[in-house]
Structure 1
Amino acid sequence: MKSLLDLLKTKGPRDAREGAESNLFTTAFASKLAQGQSAVPWEARAVEVAATRLPKSRGTRLLQSVWAQDPYMSHLSSDRVDRMQRFFAFATISPNRDLIRQDEYGSFMIVLLSGTIGVDRRQPWGEHLRLAETRPGDILGEMSLLDSGIRFSTCTTLTDCEVAVLSAEAMDEMMEHDAPLAASLVALLARKLSLRLRVVSSRLSDNPHG
């Protein structure tokens, strides 16, 4: 993660460097496709779950509101969140739709703006474990966005939900056009992810079948 942050901090607007560094996130997912493993982009998942476009004005307002109440994301000023909103897609999704599925590669993360999403993991012995029921402001799928790895769990809407979505392509665009903003976001995501992994690890270790 340190090398990634160093790259983000030193990368200026419209950096002229070519190759993998110019598309840091999308290049990682492209390598998975080259290996015959399928990465699921948000555009495909949005069609599958019949997502409805949410007006950007409402989405931005909700994003600023939920992040202002988050102990980590509140470090982003309203001005920076406003600058960030152009890189997000905003959508409304009905209940009982899988936005993220365990064991797939996915090239996007989700910020829950309203509603509730269930986070479940299918254990190797077949048990389905409910890891969490999220609340507005929670972020899902950022691990796969940052490391291009396999999804750890399935995230299903339990109610009507409004979400903000950041894709790997949009993250690369943010790096290209506003590197300091991208660096701030990645650093905060890493902190939140570390905390979540500790919580999930404790939850799994408490399971008698673990």
Structure 2
Amino acid sequence: MKGILGLLRQQARGNKAAQEHSDSVFFSTAFADQGVGAAMLVPWEARAVEVGAKRLAPSRGGKLLQALWAKDKYMAHLDTDAVKRMERFFEFAQVAANRDVIRQDEYGNFMVVLLSGTIAVDRVQPWGEQLRLAETRPGDILGEMSLLDSGIRFSACTTLTECDIAVLSADAMDDMMARDPQLAASLVALLARKLSLRLRAVSARLNEHQK
């Protein structure tokens, strides 16, 4: 993670001309280091078609995102202006109930912010038992681990109700790095913090379940 933040800070310190000609592909090409071919990736565009996602107006999605992150202990460090600047990098959608937005053990290159509704987070253990890790609330972030480290999905995320979501892809993250590197650095740092806390909670949940 220090390497990611270092790259972002270095880009932020570059002169204006360098930034204008920057063509960062840090996140969108990170999967190549894992030996993951394009055919193995499940991008949001493909998943959106599969689950029948409907486009949500950016004006509505953006307002929901701003309101939720303003109340979040960590994301509130992004002021209203920062979140508004970030809106153009997100896609907003509405997904019906009982749809797999993310599937366990697949390779994906997007994360999801739940804006309304409820999403279940489930994991099938190696011995076949299905364990419910969480039922998320609006404002929760899902799938950021694969966005940040290009790893395989740890769990499945299924809508329990109709949900409004905001989606950030690796390509959009690269675009943010090129156009607004300081904003991207702030977002990555906050995502890393929230991810660390959630992994600790999941680890405790799994350990408790095995006792």
Same fold (TM over 0.5): yes
Q: Contact 1:32/1:38 (CA < 8 Å) preserved in 2?
A: no
Amino acid at match of 1:205: N
Deviation at 1:15, TM superposition (A): 5.6
Amino acid at match of 2:168: L
Task: List alignment gaps of at least 5 residues for structure 1.
Answer: none
Aligned counterpart for 2:126 among listed residues 117, 124, 127: 124
Aligned counterpart for 1:112 among listed residues 96, 111, 114: 114
Amino acid at match of 2:62: T
User: So what's the TM-score if we normalise by structure 1?
Assistant: 0.94
User: So what's the TM-score if we normalise by structure 2?
Assistant: 0.93
Aligned to 1:43: 45
Q: Contact 1:114/1:136 (CA < 8 Å) preserved in 2?
A: yes
Q: Contact 2:22/2:178 (CA < 8 Å) preserved in 1?
A: no
CA deviation map 1:4-25 (0-9, x unaligned):
101101214636466xxx2100
Aligned to 2:63: 61
Q: Mapping of 1:76-155 within 5 angstroms?
A: 76-155=78-157
Partner Cα separation in structure 2 for residue 106 and residue 164 of structure 1 = 15
Q: Contact 1:92/1:160 (CA < 8 Å) preserved in 2?
A: yes
Amino acid at match of 2:30: A
Aligned counterpart for 1:179 among listed residues 178, 181, 186: 181
Deviation at 1:72, TM superposition (A): 0.4
Partner Cα separation in structure 1 for residue 43 and residue 35 of structure 2 = 12
Amino acid at match of 1:188: L
Partner Cα separation in structure 2 for residue 134 and residue 189 of structure 1 = 16
Partner Cα separation in structure 1 for residue 61 and residue 125 of structure 2 = 35
Deviation at 1:123, TM superposition (A): 0.2
Q: Are 1:4 and 2:15 counterparts?
A: no
Task: List alignment gaps of at least 5 residues for structure 2.
Answer: none
CA deviation map 1:96-142 (0-9, x unaligned):
00000000000000000000000000001100000000000000000
Q: CA RMSD in A?
A: 1.6
> Alignment partner of 2:210: what SS?
coil
Note closer, same or farther for the CA distance 1:98–1:177 as it changes in structure 2 (3 Å cut): same
Partner Cα separation in structure 2 for residue 56 and residue 17 of structure 1 = 27
Note closer, same or farther for the CA distance 1:94–1:197 as it changes in structure 2 (3 Å cut): same
Amino acid at match of 1:98: D
Partner Cα separation in structure 2 for residue 35 and residue 112 of structure 1 = 28
CA deviation map 1:155-192 (0-9, x unaligned):
00000000000000000000000000000000000000
Q: Mapping of 1:14-53 within 5 angstroms?
A: 14=19, 16=21, 22-32=24-34, 35=37, 38-53=40-55
Aligned to 2:168: 166
Note closer, same or farther for the CA distance 1:152–1:59 as it changes in structure 2 (3 Å cut): same
